[in-house]
Amino acid sequence: MLSAHQVSEAFTALECQQIIAIAHQESLREAGLVGNQSNHNVRRAEIAWLDERAGAEWVMDRILSVVAKANRDAFGFDLSEFAESPQVARYGAERAGHFGWHSDIGDGPVARKRKLTMVVQLSEPGAYDGGVLELRPDIAVSEVPRAVGSAVLFPAFVLHQVTPVTRGERHSLTIWAHGPAFR
């Protein structure tokens, strides 16, 4: 099974700026973990759910297209829905924003149906230091390219992390496609 699939231009640089602006229309809220838990040793970030922001409808249209094509080309998963809103996350250097090693399949009723994760790089690579998205599908760790507008898709069970941001701020867009349990 393929562990990750790259889409180099899922969004344009201008569209990425627009998504960040939409997310910041209102205050971002503290990011948590599955089950409304909070642990700053594991995750330190602020988030916005795009279904709560005006003018974000076009983002989901693009997500549907990118995920459908990537799933056809690379995964072939049985996907049935997007049960969660797209999430914009901000990882800032002032708090050493990060998200430790984790998988996206969780214990909650929605999180246990996550099958495919997509993360889009919204920030320009030179806007921050650190904040590296790393995947660990097996014993090897790989860094995800940081080109603005690029997306990486991977099975929700793959371990991944965002290393601490040491300068500037990193924004990303994440969505999960859901379906019946893996067999």
- pLDDT for 33 equals 57
Model confidence over 37-60: pLDDT tens digits? 555 567 899 999 999 999 999 999
- pLDDT for 163 equals 98
- Report the distance separating Cα 110 and Cα 173, nearest Å: 19
- pLDDT for 37 equals 56
- pLDDT for 98 equals 95
- pLDDT for 40 equals 57
Kindly report whether the global pTM for this prediction surpasses the value 0.75: yes
What are the structural domains of the chain? 5-34+42-178 (2.60.120.620)
User: What is the CB neighbour count within 10 angstroms for residue 153?
Assistant: 25
Counting as low any pLDDT under 70, the low residues of the chain are 1-2, 32-41
From residue 87, alpha-carbon distances to 32, 126, 172 in Å are 12, 22, 8
User: What is the CB neighbour count within 10 angstroms for residue 182?
Assistant: 11
Model confidence over 4-29: pLDDT tens digits? 999 999 999 999 999 999 999 999 99
